[in-house]
């Protein structure tokens, strides 16, 4: 990473540089796009939301008197006559992490102004997200079919159903919102809105490839949160 | 569409511009300010009534919209408090008042005043109006998002007020909304009322997040040339830090509200333990009511400082301007604000001493709570030292400032009582607590709001509010508020319990009845006195004395716009260039008693302070 060129400003390395940037005028994060800074702070706030959810889950699971269901049985899949624990989740996680990779490549091609590659990779990311949401819907319907409800659960503590549906639902909503935006951004990329600086539909601000990176930040965050949910729900 | 935007040619590029010294013999280098890093902001200028005044993207208009809607909601909160006081002072006088109504009014009064009035007014109102002007930006960085933020708040208020009209009425669970009683039959508004309350809170948090991102990025990334963080007015520091707190605290409220909604609608048991109702076991089991209390107060305590920190910041600026002295210990003030903000995340369980907790846990939270008194006391000393030997203007703004210091110290001292577990436990359920938090986070911030209104009204409208009416308003409010809350401390000590609809035949009735009547009469008076301000504003808008540019002779940027009131884009063709902090008052060697932030060092050559 190289520092941006700013007239009349010399960057310093390390902690001294951080202090100098903080003490300087105009901007604290030199050369960082407003939207990008905003997304970072939004994600910090969103981290607190998911932390509250997960801490509540830990409290709920830790204090229940009825046994918590065994995740490798509940989330197991019966394939070709064999019980495979966590098969679906493994695939879901793989798909989502892969979509993070395509997103990172889309950002790279975006900054290289490679419109086609960028567009296709955003589309690939969107499809990955869509597959993830689809598989989650399958998992939900399987659990509901087996009798798990937000208010009850045949395998043990009723809080299992409550927390599972609430937290994966909240995360799934994040993924779905991301997928919608990915499709919109793919459309805008193919249409060349970011090359021409065409104004946005609602915000009336000029388009720029930095928007792809901002959406990318959101997408990586959603993936990272999934890793935590995966660890806390499926591996604990 | 392009005609809606600034044509880039009309705005001159400001790179490599320096202001040359006016033949002072000093090197022009001392006036050097780094060239602009960020390109001119692209602004959408509204043309129609709808884009200019309704769905407006100008932060100043959005600020006024927030202010008006928050004030409207606040007046509803005020009327609810009147009804409560009517019942407490003169039980049975209002025939329609049942216990259910009383609890609904308590709940709505609390929630409205804390969230929809004070938070929205300080951050949405003052934040939007003042941040871009004070840091020298043309607007908030995301004007569209800012507009959506206000309209989310609008819908949130609409949903909240709609709960008055649904079957069962608004929720009556107390503003803390503690489960399990919140959603159990027997609590007023246990179905629709609490549902609408939760939805409204979620909308408020969503809307606030959009606004909050704007405030933070505008402060961090959109300051004008020469404006360093340590040259910002304390108002901006207060609002900025409060916004950081809000961004980290509101998530807990959001999660609590969502889980409560699921418990209410889907029958989950996040917060609901096994409950027997009339010998019958309800469907809930295994949830933890204490979990909600933790979530609520992890939001609730920073919320106190979300209200208090902007108030601290604003009052510092008002005191400095109106006593013509620099704020004492600017850096100490900044670090105190930041320190209070950080500490506020480690004290939440002091609201839960009576919920039952491990004594070590209580000990920890008592310690952190008392530590907050240190930076707070530093601020109070600094305000007083700013006043010390200042050239004090005894106008209405200064009166509100002095009123604030007195009420805040008063409320803060009772806070030290309540921060200790062993003192809190007997006092917790009494009027002592009511007196404490109304003094410290009701009346004190309100004094700041009033001072700020009298101070900045000439900027917003170009006209002075009437001083005589202002003095009536102040004295009635100040003395009246003391008449309300000072006796409540005593009521608390003799053990009158709070939250009670009436005192029935308890022995407290005899000793407290006269005092309750007196408090109620004072409350009616104070409430009515607020309408003096509304009358004053309407009158001023019609026949007020024109204020002109910088009427208070202040230094900060908001007074230095080319037009008063400032137009969209704030600064005309050129952004201001900042050379100093906003507190250069009464500088030795300078003719005027103030040096504005845009004054170049060479213009005041030979003075004691050339560059700060």
pLDDT digits (tens, 9 = 90+) for B201-252: 999 999 999 999 999 999 999 999 999 999 999 999 999 999 999 999 999 9
Average pLDDT of the segment spanning B255-264: 95
Q: Is B36 left (phi over 0), alpha (psi -120 to 50) or beta?
A: beta
Task: Average the pLDDT over each of A6-20, B151-165, B407-421, B459-473 and give the range with the smallest value.
Answer: A6-20
- HSE, side-chain direction, 13 A CA sphere, residue B224: 26
Per-residue confidence band for A205, with pLDDT thresholds at 50, 70 and 90: confident
User: In A, which residues are within 8 Å of B216 by CB distance?
Assistant: 38, 41
* A30 interfacial to chain B (CB closer than 8 Å): yes
Q: CB contacts < 8 Å between A and B, how many?
A: 154
Two tokens, residue B319: 């005191």
Interatomic CA distance for residues B237 and B333, integer angstroms: 9
Kindly report, residue by residue over A8-17, the tens digit of the pLDDT: 888 888 899 9
User: In B, which residues are within 8 Å of A35 by CB distance?
Assistant: 142
Nearest-10 Cα torsion for B224, B228, B233, B237: 110
pLDDT at A134 over 90: yes
pLDDT of residue A158: 87
Kindly report, residue by residue over B17-54, the tens digit of the pLDDT: 343 333 444 455 888 898 998 888 888 888 888 888 89
Output b/e per residue, B305-315; b: 16+ Cβ within 10 A.
Answer: bbbbbbbbbbb
Two tokens, residue A173: 């909503």
CB-nearest partner of A25 from B34, B255, B285: B34
* A199 interfacial to chain B (CB closer than 8 Å): yes
Express as a percent the part of chain A with pLDDT over 70.
Answer: 99
Average pLDDT of the segment spanning A25-30: 91
Apex B480 CA angle, B474 and B482, nearest 5: 105
Task: Average the pLDDT over each of A146-160, A166-180, B182-196 and give the range with the smallest value.
Answer: A146-160
pLDDT of residue B397: 96
Interatomic CA distance for residues B217 and B484, integer angstroms: 41
Per-residue confidence band for B420, with pLDDT thresholds at 50, 70 and 90: very high
Kindly report, residue by residue over B306-344, the tens digit of the pLDDT: 999 999 999 999 999 999 999 999 999 999 999 999 999
Residue B100, phi then psi, degrees to nearest 5: -60, -50
What one-character DSSP code corresponds to residue A199? B
pLDDT of residue A165: 94
Interatomic CA distance for residues B161 and B180, integer angstroms: 23
Q: Which has the closest alpha carbon to B217: B136, B126, B124, B140?
A: B140
Average pLDDT of the segment spanning A73-93: 81
pLDDT of residue A167: 95
CB contact (8 A) between residue A41 and residue B258: no
CATH of span A33-235:
1.20.120.80
What residues 55-84 of chain A have any CB closer than 8 A to a CB of chain B? 56, 59-60, 63-66
Average pLDDT of the segment spanning A56-80: 83
A84 beta partners: A77
pLDDT of residue B27: 53
What residues 133-192 of chain A have any CB closer than 8 A to a CB of chain B? 150-151, 157-159, 161-163, 166, 170
pLDDT at B575 over 60: yes
Interatomic CA distance for residues A78 and A64, integer angstroms: 29
Question: What single string gives the DSSP state of each residue in B51-115?
Answer: IIIIS---HHHHHHHHHHHHHHHHHHHHHHHHHHHHHHHSTTSSTT--HHHHHHHHHHHHHIIII
pLDDT at B74 over 90: yes
- Which candidate in A10, A21, A24, A56 is best for mutational testing of the B interface (most B CBs within 10 A)? A56
CB contact (8 A) between residue B223 and residue A25: yes
Apex B17 CA angle, B16 and B19, nearest 5: 140
Average pLDDT of the segment spanning B159-185: 93
DSSP, collapsed to helix, strand or coil, labels residue B485 as helix
Kindly report, as residue ranges, where domains of CATH 1.20.120.80 are found in chain A. Answer: 33-235
CB contact (8 A) between residue B269 and residue A34: no
**Reported ipTM:** 0.94
Interatomic CA distance for residues B503 and B497, integer angstroms: 9
* A10 interfacial to chain B (CB closer than 8 Å): no
pLDDT of residue B28: 56
pLDDT at B1 over 50: no
pLDDT of residue A157: 87
CB contact (8 A) between residue A205 and residue B42: yes
- Which candidate in B36, B251, B262, B281 is best for mutational testing of the A interface (most A CBs within 10 A)? B251
Per-residue confidence band for A1, with pLDDT thresholds at 50, 70 and 90: low
The chain-wide mean pLDDT, for chain B, equals: 91
Average pLDDT of the segment spanning B46-73: 92
CB-nearest partner of B268 from A59, A66, A162: A162
> How far lies B42's CA from each of B6, B38, B227, in Å?
7, 11, 21
Gap from A200 CA to chain B (nearest CA, Å): 11
Q: Which has the closest alpha carbon to B123: B205, B63, B197, B47?
A: B63
Kindly report, residue by residue over B581-609, the tens digit of the pLDDT: 999 999 988 988 999 999 999 888 888 87
User: In B, which residues are within 8 Å of A66 by CB distance?
Assistant: 286
B292 beta partners: none
pLDDT at A63 over 50: yes
Gap from B226 CA to chain A (nearest CA, Å): 5
Gap from A81 CA to chain B (nearest CA, Å): 35
């Amino acid at each position: 990473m190289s520092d941006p060129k700013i007239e009349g400003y010399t960057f310093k390395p390390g902690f001294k540089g951080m202090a100098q940037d903080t003490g300087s005028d105009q901007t604290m994060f030199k050369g960082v796009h407003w939207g990008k800074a905003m997304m970072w702070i939004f994600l910090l706030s969103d981290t607190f939301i998911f932390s509250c959810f997960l801490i509540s889950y830990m409290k709920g699971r830790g204090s229940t008197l009825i046994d918590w269901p065994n995740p490798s049985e509940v989330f197991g899949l019966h394939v070709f006559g064999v019980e495979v624990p966590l098969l679906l989740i493994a695939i879901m996680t793989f798909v989502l992490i892969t979509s993070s990779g395509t997103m990172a490549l889309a950002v790279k091609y975006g900054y290289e102004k490679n419109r086609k590659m960028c567009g296709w990779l955003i589309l690939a990311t969107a499809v990955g997200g869509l597959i993830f949401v689809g598989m989650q819907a399958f998992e939900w319907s399987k659990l509901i079919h087996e009798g798990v409800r937000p208010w009850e659960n045949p395998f043990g503590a009723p809080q299992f159903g409550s927390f599972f549906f609430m937290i994966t639902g909240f995360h799934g909503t994040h993924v779905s919102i991301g997928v919608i935006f990915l499709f919109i951004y793919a459309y805008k990329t193919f249409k060349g809105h970011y090359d021409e600086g065409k104004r946005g539909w609602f915000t009336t601000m000029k388009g720029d490839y930095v928007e792809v990176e901002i959406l990318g930040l959101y997408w990586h965050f959603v993936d990272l949160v999934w890793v935590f949910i995966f660890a806390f729900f499926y591996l604990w | 569409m392009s005609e809606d935007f600034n044509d880039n040619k009309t705005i001159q590029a400001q790179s490599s511009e320096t202001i040359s010294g006016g033949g002072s013999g000093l090197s022009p280098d001392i006036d050097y300010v780094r060239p602009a890093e960020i390109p001119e902001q692209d602004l959408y200028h509204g043309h129609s009534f709808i884009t200019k005044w309704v769905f407006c993207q100008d932060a100043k208009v959005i600020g006024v919209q927030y202010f008006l809607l928050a004030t409207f909601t606040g007046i509803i909160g005020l009327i609810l408090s009147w009804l409560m006081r009517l019942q407490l002072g003169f039980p049975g006088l209002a025939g329609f008042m049942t216990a259910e109504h009383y609890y609904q009014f308590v709940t709505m009064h609390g929630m409205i005043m804390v969230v929809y009035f004070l938070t929205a007014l300080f951050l949405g109102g003052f934040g939007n109006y003042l941040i871009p002007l004070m840091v020298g930006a043309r607007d908030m960085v995301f004007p569209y998002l800012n507009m959506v933020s206000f309209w989310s708040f609008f819908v949130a208020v609409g949903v909240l007020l709609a709960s008055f009209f649904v079957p069962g009425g608004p929720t009556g669970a107390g503003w803390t909304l503690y489960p399990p009683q919140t959603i159990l039959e027997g609590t007023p508004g246990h179905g629709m009322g609490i549902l609408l309350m939760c939805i409204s809170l979620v909308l408020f948090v969503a809307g606030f997040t959009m606004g909050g991102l704007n405030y933070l990025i505008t402060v961090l990334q959109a300051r004008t040339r020469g404006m360093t963080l340590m040259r910002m007015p304390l108002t901006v520091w207060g609002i900025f830090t409060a916004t950081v707190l809000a961004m980290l605290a509101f998530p807990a409220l959001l999660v609590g509200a969502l889980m409560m909604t699921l418990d209410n609608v889907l029958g989950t048991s996040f917060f609901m333990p096994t409950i027997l109702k009339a010998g019958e076991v309800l469907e809930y089991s295994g949830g933890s009511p204490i979990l909600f209390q933790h979530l609520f107060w992890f939001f609730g305590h920073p919320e106190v400082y979300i209200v208090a920190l902007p108030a601290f910041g604003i009052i510092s600026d008002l005191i400095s301007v109106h006593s013509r002295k620099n704020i004492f210990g600017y850096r100490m003030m900044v670090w105190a604000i930041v320190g209070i903000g950080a500490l506020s995340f480690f004290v939440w369980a002091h609201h839960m001493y009576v919920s039952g907790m491990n004594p070590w846990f209580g000990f920890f939270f008592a310690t952190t709570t008392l530590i907050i008194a240190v930076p707070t006391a530093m601020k109070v000393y600094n305000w007083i030292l700013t006043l010390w030997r200042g050239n004090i203007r005894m106008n209405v703004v200064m009166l509100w400032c002095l009123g604030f210091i007195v009420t805040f110290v008063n409320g803060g001292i009772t806070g030290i009582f309540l921060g200790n577990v062993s003192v809190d436990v007997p006092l917790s359920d009494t009027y002592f607590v009511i007196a404490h938090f109304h003094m410290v986070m009701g009346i004190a911030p309100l004094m700041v709001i009033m001072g700020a209104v009298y101070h900045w009204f000439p900027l917003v409208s170009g006209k002075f509010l009437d001083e005589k009416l202002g003095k009536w308003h102040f004295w009635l409010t100040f003395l009246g508020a003391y008449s309300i809350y000072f006796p409540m401390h005593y009521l608390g000590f003799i053990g009158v319990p709070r939250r009670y609809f009436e005192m029935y035949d308890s022995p407290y009735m005899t000793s407290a009845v006269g005092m309750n009547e007196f408090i109620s009469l004072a409350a009616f008076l104070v409430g009515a006195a607020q309408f003096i301000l509304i009358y004053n504003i309407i009158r001023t808008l019609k026949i007020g004395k024109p204020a002109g540019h910088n009427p208070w002779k202040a230094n900060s940027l908001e007074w230095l716009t080319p037009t008063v009131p400032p137009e969209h884009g704030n600064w005309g063709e050129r952004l201001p260039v900042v050379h100093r902090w906003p507190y250069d008052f009464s500088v030795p060697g300078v003719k005027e008693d103030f040096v504005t932030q845009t004054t170049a060092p060479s213009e005041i050559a030979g003075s004691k302070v050339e560059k700060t």
